[in-house]
Structure 1
Amino acid sequence: NLNQAFDEHTKINRHLQTGKRVMNASDDAGEASKLGKTKMDLIKNRMIQGNLQNSLSLLQAQDGMFKVIGNILDRSSELKIRFESPVANAAEKEAYNKEFTELQGELRSIAQSKWNGISLFSTQDSRTLFGAPIDTPDLLQQSNESGTDAALKLSRWGIYHFEPPEETTSLDKKLLAITLTDESEGYGAAEYKGRDPNNPANVPTYDAIGEAKFLKDKAAWEAFTSGLGITAEIAVVVAPSIFSTEADDTRAIDADGGEVVPADYDEVTDLAGFASVYRGMGRERFSLAGSGLTPSMPDPNDQADFLWAKFQEMTNNGSELPDALGVFVDNSGSLYFNEVNDALFQFVDRVRTTYPSIILPSDDLTSGSGPSAVDLATDPNGETIDRTEVGVFRGISLSGAEDWINQSQMALQNLIDNDPTFQAALTTDQEDPTLALSAYTQAELVGFLDTLTQARGQNAAEQQRIRNEIEELQGRVVGLEQSIEVGEGLDIPMAMGVFHRTKDQVDLNAQLVAAAKDMENVLYTDFL
C-alpha cells in the first residue's frame, strides 16, 4: 500500500543521505552489536595511546634529570680526587666539602621532581647519592586496549629526600599568646566566674558552670598545643573593667574585678605551666553610654609601653624569645577593640622591629564578619569595629566572649588556617643529612655513576618499548576504522536500486489513489 511504500522509500533515502547501512539496531541487530564493540575498541585504543604518550613524557622528563644527576656525580668524583690530593690544604678541603654539600642539596631537590604530579624518583638512604629504590619503585602502564598484554614498567630510581614523619613530634617551637581582656563577670556560659545581678542567689550555680568550663577549656588547650607539637603560653593582660569595683563601686562583685579564674581558684597555682596574668593596662575610653567613668591609663603610648614592659618580663629581656607571637582581644562588649587598638599596633610594630626572628601574624590579614567590612583606606586602625564583631583585623584576632582560654585556641587555629607567615612558625624544620667527602671512597662515587649509566640504559629501553606499543596501536587504528567503515558502509548501487523501486511503488500507488479519486468523483457526479 501507499503508506508502506512511502515508509520504505523514506528509510532508504535516509541511508543514502548518511552513507550508512546500519543507523539503528533494528536495521541489523548482529551488525550493530559488532559495530558497537569495534567502536569501543577504537576508543580504548586512543585512550591507551594517550596514556602511553604521557608515560613516554614522564620517562623523557626523568632522562632529562638523569643528565643533571650525571653532571653532579661527575663533579662529586672530581671533588673527591682533589680532596685526596696530598697538596690540598685545610682551606681548600673545606671549600671542596662545602661544594659537595651543595651538590647533595641539588640531588635532594631533584629527588622531589614530579611530572604531572607523579614523582620521577623513589627514595634511598641518605648516604647513597644514587641507587636502586628502597620503596615502591615502579609504575605500570597498560599496553593495549584489551588489557591482555603484560603491562609496561616505568622504573623509578632512588635518591634520598626528606619525608615528614607521620606521627606528630615535638617541633621544639614556642608560642606566646597575648590575650587582652577586662575580665568582666558574666553569666557562666562564656565565663569562668559567674554573677547574676538580678538574682544573687544564682551566683553559685553560674560559678559551678564557669568552673566546669575552665577545666574543659584548659584540657582542650593542652591537647590542642600537644597535637601541634609545640609549647605554648598565654599571657592574660587585664585592662580595668567597666563593671569592676575599680570602675564602679555600685556593682557588687569580687574585689579582683572579674573572672580570669573560677571562684576560689588561685591565679598562680591554677594557671601554672600554661598562663600568667598581668594587670594594669589601661584603655582609651569606657564605651558604655552613660557610664560617666574615666578609664585608667587612657594614653595609647602608655598602654604600648606597659605591654612592652610586660613582654620583656615574659621573655627575660629578650633572652627567651618565642618562635611566634599571637595577639587576641576580648571584643565581647565590656571591652572594645577600639579602646586598645592603637596601643596594640604600636606594640606589635615594636616587637617586629626589635625582634625580627619572631613570627608575627601578617599585617594584611583581615577577615571576619565585622573586620572584613572595614575600609582600610579610611580606617586603618579599625576604629569603626563595633563590639561583638569577631575575626582578624590586621593580624590581631578579635574574640567574641570572655572565656579567654577557649578564645585563644580558636584565634590561634584561625591564624594557622589562614596566615601563611604564622603557619611557617609551626612547620618542622627540614634538615637533610649531608656527608663530607671523607665519608666516601672514590670507588663508591664511581659506583653511583655506574648505577646512573644502568638507569639511563633502562630508561631508553622503556621509552623504546612504549614507542613500539604506540606504533602498534596506531597500526590497529587503521584496521578498526576500516572495519567500522565497512560495517556501517552502504552498498550504493543496491541502495539506489531499492530507492528507485520504492520510488516507483510510491508513484504507482499515488497514481492508483488519484485514479480512484477521479472514479469516485465521476460516480458521485453521475449519481447527482
Structure 2
Amino acid sequence: MAVVINTNYAATIASNNLSASNAALQKSLNRLSSGSKIVSPADDAGGLAVSMKLSAAAVRSSATSTNIANTTSYLETQDGVLATVGDVLNRVSELYTLYQDPTKNADDKANYDVEFGQLQLQLKSLAAETFNGVSLFGSAGGGGAVGKDPIIETVKVSEDGSQTVAITAKDLTDTGSGVGALTAVAVTDLGDIDIDDINTAIQNVATFRANNGAEQSRLGFAADVLTTNKTNLEAANSRIVDVDVAEESTQLARWNTLVQAGTSMLSQANSSAQIALALLQ
C-alpha cells in the first residue's frame, strides 16, 4: 500500500465506523432512558401507526368500562328504590286487610285512609327519583321525571360502540305495568281498591326488579370482556413500542465498546501520516 499524505483512507474508514457506532450508541441510550423502542417515527413508521390505533382502542375500552360501571350504579340505585316501593306496597296490603275488619268503625277506617294517602304520595315521590339528573323510572321513548333527563334505554358495551345492552323501561306510574292503579286520582281511600290491584302492583314491581337484576348481570359480563380486551390491547401495544431492557442493555454494551475501539483506531489512523514525514527527514 502506498504511503501518501493528502489522503488518509484508513482514517476516513475509521471515522465513518466511529460515527455509525456513536449514532447507534445514542439511539440505544435514548431507548433505555425513555423505555420506548420507537424514539423517532423513522424507527418503525408502520409499528407507530399500529401502536396509535391499539392505544386508542385501549383508552376507549377503559372509558367504556367506566360507563358500564356508572350504568350499573344507576341500576343499583333503581333497585334500591324498587325495594322501598315493595315495602310500601306491603304496608298498603296490610292496611287494606286491616281496613276489611268488620269491627272497625268509620273513624278507624278514616285513620287508615290517612296513612294510605301518605303512602300514595310516597309512591309518587319514588316514581320521580333520579340518578345524577337522569330519571330512574319512565316510559320507553323519552318519558321520565318532570324536568329531568329521560330514562336510560341502552348502554354501549364495546369500545367501538357496535354492541349495546338494552335497559328495560320501568314506568312505576303506569296503571297496567306499574303501581298507577293505587295512585290514580280516582283512588282516594282504601275502599277504592281491591286485593287484585295490590297483588298486581306487587307483581309488577317484582318483574321490574327481576329485569333490573338480569341487566346488572349482563353488564357485569360485558365489563369482564372489556377488561380482557383492554389487557390484551395493552400487551399488543407493548410488544411494538416498549423496549426490551435486557436486549437493549446488551446492544448498549456492544455499541459502547465499538465507540471506544473506533476512537482509539481513529487516533492511530490519524497518526499514520507521521510515517511519511519520517521518510522525508
Q: TM-score range by the shorter chain?
A: 0.7 to 0.9
Q: What RMSD over aligned residues (CA atoms) do the two structures have, in Å?
A: 3.0
For the residue of structure 1 that corresponds to 2:42, the secondary structure is coil
* Correspondence list, 1:77-476, <5 A: 77-122=93-138, 135=143, 138-149=152-163, 151-160=164-173, 433=185, 435-476=188-229
Residue 524 and residue 92 in structure 1: after superposition, are their counterparts in 2 closer, same or farther (change >3 A)? farther
Give the drift of 1:10. 0.6
Partner of 1:416: none
Residue 515 and residue 73 in structure 1: after superposition, are their counterparts in 2 closer, same or farther (change >3 A)? same
Match of 2:62 among 20, 39, 46: 46
Q: Is the 8 A contact 1:134 1:158 kept in 2?
A: no
Give the drift of 1:467. 0.9
Partner of 1:13: 29
Residue 511 and residue 87 in structure 1: after superposition, are their counterparts in 2 closer, same or farther (change >3 A)? same
Give the drift of 1:516. 4.4
Deviation digits for residues 24-75 of structure 1, max 9, x if unmatched?
3221112111111111111111111111111111111111111110011111
Give the drift of 1:12. 1.7
Match of 2:255 among 502, 508, 512: 502
For the residue of structure 2 that corresponds to 1:152, the secondary structure is strand
Partner of 1:56: 72
* Correspondence list, 1:18-33, <5 A: 18-33=34-49
Give the drift of 1:442. 1.5
Residue 133 and residue 70 in structure 1: after superposition, are their counterparts in 2 closer, same or farther (change >3 A)? farther
For the residue of structure 2 that corresponds to 1:26, the secondary structure is helix
Alpha-carbon distance in 1 for matches of 2:200, 2:154:
28
Partner of 1:349: none
Alpha-carbon distance in 2 for matches of 1:133, 1:95:
40
Give the drift of 1:87. 2.8
State the identity %.
Answer: 23
Alpha-carbon distance in 2 for matches of 1:27, 1:452:
62
Residue 57 and residue 481 in structure 1: after superposition, are their counterparts in 2 closer, same or farther (change >3 A)? same
Q: Is the 8 A contact 2:37 2:243 kept in 1?
A: yes
For the residue of structure 2 that corresponds to 1:66, the secondary structure is helix
Partner of 2:236: 483
TM-score normalised by structure 2 residue count: 0.77
Give the drift of 1:102. 0.3
Alpha-carbon distance in 2 for matches of 1:464, 1:89:
50
Residue 526 and residue 112 in structure 1: after superposition, are their counterparts in 2 closer, same or farther (change >3 A)? farther
* Correspondence list, 1:64-75, <5 A: 64-75=80-91
| Letter in structure 2 aligned against 1:465 | R
Larger fraction in strand: 1
Q: Is the 8 A contact 2:28 2:251 kept in 1?
A: yes
Deviation digits for residues 273-294 of structure 1, max 9, x if unmatched?
xxxxxxxxxxxxxxxxxxxxxx
Deviation digits for residues 262-315 of structure 1, max 9, x if unmatched?
xxxxxxxxxxxxxxxxxxxxxxxxxxxxxxxxxxxxxxxxxxxxxxxxxxxxxx
Structure 1: runs of 5+ lacking an equivalent: 124-131, 162-431
Give the drift of 1:118. 1.6
Q: Larger radius of gyration, structure 1 or 2?
A: 1
Q: Is the 8 A contact 1:139 1:154 kept in 2?
A: yes
Partner of 2:52: 36
Q: Is the 8 A contact 1:59 1:154 kept in 2?
A: no
Q: Is the 8 A contact 2:134 2:152 kept in 1?
A: no
Deviation digits for residues 425-456 of structure 1, max 9, x if unmatched?
xxxxxxx9563222222201110000001011
Q: Looking at both structures, which has the greater relative contact order when contacts are Cα pairs under 8 Å and sequence separation is at least 6? A: 2
Residue 435 and residue 511 in structure 1: after superposition, are their counterparts in 2 closer, same or farther (change >3 A)? same
Number of matched residues? 249
For the residue of structure 2 that corresponds to 1:490, the secondary structure is coil
Larger fraction in helix: 2
Give the drift of 1:119. 1.6
Deviation digits for residues 391-437 of structure 1, max 9, x if unmatched?
xxxxxxxxxxxxxxxxxxxxxxxxxxxxxxxxxxxxxxxxx956322
Alpha-carbon distance in 1 for matches of 2:50, 2:85:
52
Deviation digits for residues 113-158 of structure 1, max 9, x if unmatched?
22222221226xxxxxxxx999365421101112222x11233422
Residue 103 and residue 10 in structure 1: after superposition, are their counterparts in 2 closer, same or farther (change >3 A)? same
Q: Is the 8 A contact 1:143 1:469 kept in 2?
A: yes
Residue 525 and residue 34 in structure 1: after superposition, are their counterparts in 2 closer, same or farther (change >3 A)? same
Q: Is the 8 A contact 1:120 1:156 kept in 2?
A: no
| Letter in structure 2 aligned against 1:112 | A
**Residue 512 in structure 1 maps to residue 265 in structure 2:** yes
Alpha-carbon distance in 1 for matches of 2:207, 2:173:
18
Give the drift of 1:462. 0.6
Deviation digits for residues 149-174 of structure 1, max 9, x if unmatched?
2x11233422349xxxxxxxxxxxxx
Residue 94 and residue 524 in structure 1: after superposition, are their counterparts in 2 closer, same or farther (change >3 A)? farther
Alpha-carbon distance in 2 for matches of 1:78, 1:134:
35
